Structure 1
Amino acid sequence: MIAEDILYKFEAEKLTFLKGDQIFSEGQPALCYFQILSGEVKMNNFNDDGKEFIQGIFFKGQSFGEPPLFADVKYPAHAEALSDAEVLRVSKDNFLELLKAHPDEHLSITKALASRLYYKAIMATELSSQEPEHRILRILDYLKKYVHHLDTPFSFQVDITRQQIADLTGLRVETVIRATKSLEKKGELKIINRKLFR
């Protein structure tokens, strides 16, 4: 994403969050750009029954929560530290000035947002029509290719839990467990010491 030295030139603050800390809440005004230095962050919502739906999980080097900055709307989801994390935060005004001053960084952000929009469109179709095994492979392949930039078979050790896979795909955790075992039998996944590999 954006080079750290450039972020610091535009008055970035380094923040530390403990696992479970809330970074921002659904409905808050979007006032800052966030980029992860270490750790993991999830964006999530809860339905009326309290069931969590994970909108996305973000890793070192990725940013999160940018679309509302451009659209002048409130955050559509909560952001929570999934592990202890260090995050750079830049005010909205400084972030927009940064993009004007650094067109290459602007293009980098645009590409990242386009990739996320593509993923959201694919997942919307998956959630409405596809079988559990297909949904699981889609999310794992997205993480493998677009987040971890891997392409060789079984090179990706899945770094999210089965519960998080369920929350990302709208499935029950029991369904994810059954489906991953079935996918292993079909040669689509490997399970080694309870870890998934794709």
Structure 2
Amino acid sequence: MIDSSLLLNAGAVETSYKKGDWIFRQGDHARFYFLIVKGQVKMSNFNDQGQEFVQGLFSETQSFGEPPLFADLTYPASAIASSDCRLIKLAKNKFLDLLLSNPEISVSMCESLAKRLHYKAVMASEISSQHPEHRILTLLRYLKNEIHTDSSTPYPVDLTRQQIADMTGLRVETVIRSIKKMEKENLLSIRGRKVYL
């Protein structure tokens, strides 16, 4: 999203996290802009029984957790390192100064946030659907459109069955069954346990 050298020149620092480390918790006040240099981060909510619902997965070159930063709110979900990762983090006041002095970055940020809002609206509608195959396909098509730039080759889904379940509100057993069913219907393919769309 924002070039790492611009962030570092603005006073950002690079920080390392181990898999499973909490970057921030739901309810914490937003104080930093985060950019992933290496690894993966998930944004999750947990119910009273400790069941996790993954709101989003973010990978290298992506940022996360911006909406509360702009609105001076607390985080609606927790950010957890899904793998060992390195992040660049920039204090809120320096981040806002960077945006004010670089309007093209502000426009790019608005576009990115609009796409995330659109995804949330689509997924909220799909979660209410009774058809697990439809929920899964909606998620995979969104990821394919956002990540996969070569439409001439199948998109390798870089999610585990558990992650797909966590992101669609389904049980992992239902995801496994649905993926097998969709493979039989030629909606996707499976090669060496990896799903391709």
Q: Could you say whether these structures have the same fold, taking a TM-score greater than 0.5 normalized by the shorter chain as the test?
A: yes
- Structure 2 residue aligned with 1:45: 45
- Structure 2 residue aligned with 1:172: 171
Partner deviation per Cα, 1:136-175 (whole Å, 9 max, x = no partner): 0111111111134343352x11111100100000000000
Q: 1: CA distance between counterparts of 2:153 and 2:119?
A: 21
- Structure 1 residue aligned with 2:184: 185
| Root-mean-square deviation (Å) | 1.0
* TM-score where L is the length of structure 1: 0.97
- Structure 2 residue aligned with 1:22: 22
Structure 1 runs of 4+ off > 6 angstroms? none
- Structure 1 residue aligned with 2:159: 160
- Structure 1 residue aligned with 2:77: 77
| Runs of 5+ consecutive residues of structure 1 not aligned to the other structure | none
Contact 1:144 1:151 in 2 (8 A): no
Aligned length: 197
- Structure 2 residue aligned with 1:95: 95
Contact 1:157 1:196 in 2 (8 A): yes
Contact 2:129 2:135 in 1 (8 A): no
Gap change, CA 1:23 and 1:55, over 3 Å in 2: same
SS in 2 for 1:175: helix
Gap change, CA 1:122 and 1:150, over 3 Å in 2: farther
| Runs of 5+ consecutive residues of structure 2 not aligned to the other structure | none
Q: 2: CA distance between counterparts of 1:106 and 1:5?
A: 17
* TM-score where L is the length of structure 2: 0.97
Q: 2: CA distance between counterparts of 1:68 and 1:140?
A: 27
